[in-house]
Structure 1
Amino acid sequence: MARAFAPGNISCVFKVIPHADPARMHSLGMGFTVKEGVEVTVSEQDETEVLFNGERINFPTVRAVVNRLIQNSGLIGIKVDIISPLPLGCGFGLSGAAALATAYAINELLTLHKNSEKLAMTAHIAEVENRTGLGDVCSQYHGGCLVKLKEGSPLTADRLPIAEQPIYYRYFGPIQTSEVLGNREQTLRINRAADVALNVLQTLTHAKSSHELFNACFAVSKQFSIESGLLSDARVIDTIARIEAEGGVASMIMLGNGVFSTYPFEEATETRLVHNPARLK
């Protein structure tokens, strides 16, 4: 038996970088990891089985990681037990977190001697192939508030000097990442909006205080959510407006019908921006 943890990730801005090779397809953008995530326990058994909070689940991204790592091992299957307080499909990057933690845990269980970068790429490729994400694994591999500006390098990111701090969120329901990534027209609109956002992110200097820099990131994220057409749920729009009316900053969680803020708003759940990356437990 082996166990690993990977943090949840909130994406604020993303641009799809398409490529025929899943190892080269990824996203640019900005996001940050949070205190909660997934804890994955793996053990050998006769067939591969994936559980999420105790219930069997169809999780192709995790199965892809399992299949890739156990090939040539002689094993028939792996039990993957995923525990998380965060919801699937609501923008916390749980598919990436589960894939990455599963890769770390299987590497430990089977003594594969693969380094963390190779394991992260295995998880990233599984995400791309199953259209469940493009950039979460990179953020979860590094930890912290990250900006990704280098095209063609899925695991390259720069950490912004933003302090660990409380984050408040409320989600209203899921958005299927695969449906968004599979919609060419919507992807084009997202990428046009992302180009504007990325240009602004490049101009943000480290001379700003952590507070000023994070507020600027919120402004970029909110504008991106509007210009991309992703901000369409009335509940999300109204919640952001209420927070701003009270002097706070807020934006939409990508991709989920949810709101995140540094301001403790009504019916919000508290988490924390953290710098900790995925790791063995």
Structure 2
Amino acid sequence: MKRIEARVPAGISSFFAICDTDSSGKPLQDPLKIGAIGGGFKVLPPVKTAVEVEEADKTSIRIYVNGKPEEASTSLRVAEKIFSRIKENFNVTVYHEISEPIGAGFGTSGAGALSLAVALSRAVGLNITLLEAAQIAHVAEVEAKTGLGTVGGLLSPASCVITRKPGAPGIGLVDGITVESEVTLIAVYFGPILTKHVLTDPSVRKRVNSIGWSTLHSILKNPSLECFLSKSMEFARESGFLTPEVERVVEFLRGKKGVIGYAQNMLGNCLHIVVEKNRSEDLIYLLKEKFKKAKVLELKPTTLTVELK
């Protein structure tokens, strides 16, 4: 049996616009061209994916997420795409270990897909580049409807990511803002948000996309961390995604020392806060005391792309 592990940062989304139609409004058919513009943060702890493979007469795939068996449609698609490129058969067991909340704008699906593409291709002897692995992960996310732009953002060399042009890695254009090492990120998580209406309601999509593109243009005029967070928070308000719980955290943060800025996860009932590292411990204590029903996480912005073990 062969075992390979890959680690990829989680990818918080701060703002976005859906890009799945051409200039005439017709739906795009090529999943490599479908994507999103937007921005967010690459953070640690990473999503860890371990794969165990052994040769077999017929390929089988089992997937576990945090120790529990799951269908994990995105990961299954990644595995199937890799096996379509080789002739050999394997019994495969996939173990995803995810610290961040799932389904709340932390990009865990994209990180899991990318880490799986890298680990599994190596384990079965398929020699592909990081870009090729990332394209497999991107297409799997698009087809499974679990994400649009996360994977491309994870390839950014910056910890604060800006996606300027939509599409899969190699097609989209990813940029970023340099973040000082003396800051940390705190997430105050209350729960997921139902996102189906965002993808299916034309009027909601049109409004969100207009605000998302406007947010991107505003940030690019002044690409600083403070501007990024301020404009992303405006996006949450103007798009109608801002929740009462997040609003209460925002009110609580007013005047707190060391807070650089904050924005709501897209899409999740969660606020991510960038704070000076020497103030983070005190702020975490205050947040836990004030919001006892929330999960308060300390995360580390990172420039890491993929770590293979």
TM-score exceeds 0.5? yes
Match of 1:237, SS state, is helix
Aligned match of 1:255: 267
The alignment status of 1:80 with 2:97, answered yes or no, reads no
Identity %: 27
Match of 2:155, SS state, is helix
Q: 1:183 to 1:74 in 2, by over 3 A?
A: farther
Aligned match of 1:215: 226
Which deviations, in whole Å up to 9, do the C-alpha atoms of 1:95-154 show, x marking residues without a partner? 000000000001110121110001001000111111111111112223521211124565
Deviates more, 1:76-85 or 1:61-70: 76-85
Residue identity matched to 2:175: D
Aligned match of 2:279: none
Determine if contact 1:61/1:95 at 8 Å carries over to the other structure. yes
Residue identity matched to 1:222: M
Aligned match of 1:137: 151
Aligned match of 1:185: 203
Which one has a bigger Cα radius of gyration?
Answer: 2
Q: 1:132 to 1:182 in 2, by over 3 A?
A: farther
Please list, as runs of the form range in 1=range in 2, the aligned pairs for 1:124-273 lying within 5 A after superposition.
124-143=138-157, 144-152=159-167, 154=169, 155-164=172-181, 165-205=183-223, 213-231=224-242, 233-246=243-256, 248=259, 249-263=261-275, 264-265=283-284, 266-267=287-288, 268-273=296-301
The unaligned stretches of length 5 or more in structure 2 are 21-27, 276-282, 289-295
Alpha-carbon deviation of 1:2? Answer: 1.0
Alpha-carbon deviation of 1:76? Answer: 4.9
Which deviations, in whole Å up to 9, do the C-alpha atoms of 1:28-81 show, x marking residues without a partner? 111110011211111226621110111101210000000010124332542110
| Distance in structure 2 (CA, Å) of the matches to 1:38 and 1:169 | 16
Determine if contact 1:131/1:177 at 8 Å carries over to the other structure. no
Aligned match of 1:27: 36
Aligned match of 1:101: 115
TM-score calculated relative to the size of structure 2: 0.83
Number of residue pairs aligned between Structure 1 and Structure 2: 273
Match of 1:196, SS state, is helix
Match of 1:22, SS state, is coil
Determine if contact 1:192/1:228 at 8 Å carries over to the other structure. no
Aligned match of 1:9: 11
TM-score calculated relative to the size of structure 1: 0.91
Determine if contact 1:133/1:177 at 8 Å carries over to the other structure. no
Aligned match of 2:132: 118
Aligned match of 2:308: 280
Match of 2:95, SS state, is strand
Residue identity matched to 1:239: V
Which deviations, in whole Å up to 9, do the C-alpha atoms of 1:2-39 show, x marking residues without a partner? 11011101111111111221110011111110011211
The unaligned stretches of length 5 or more in structure 1 are 206-212
- CA RMSD of the aligned region, Å? 1.8
Match of 2:29, SS state, is coil
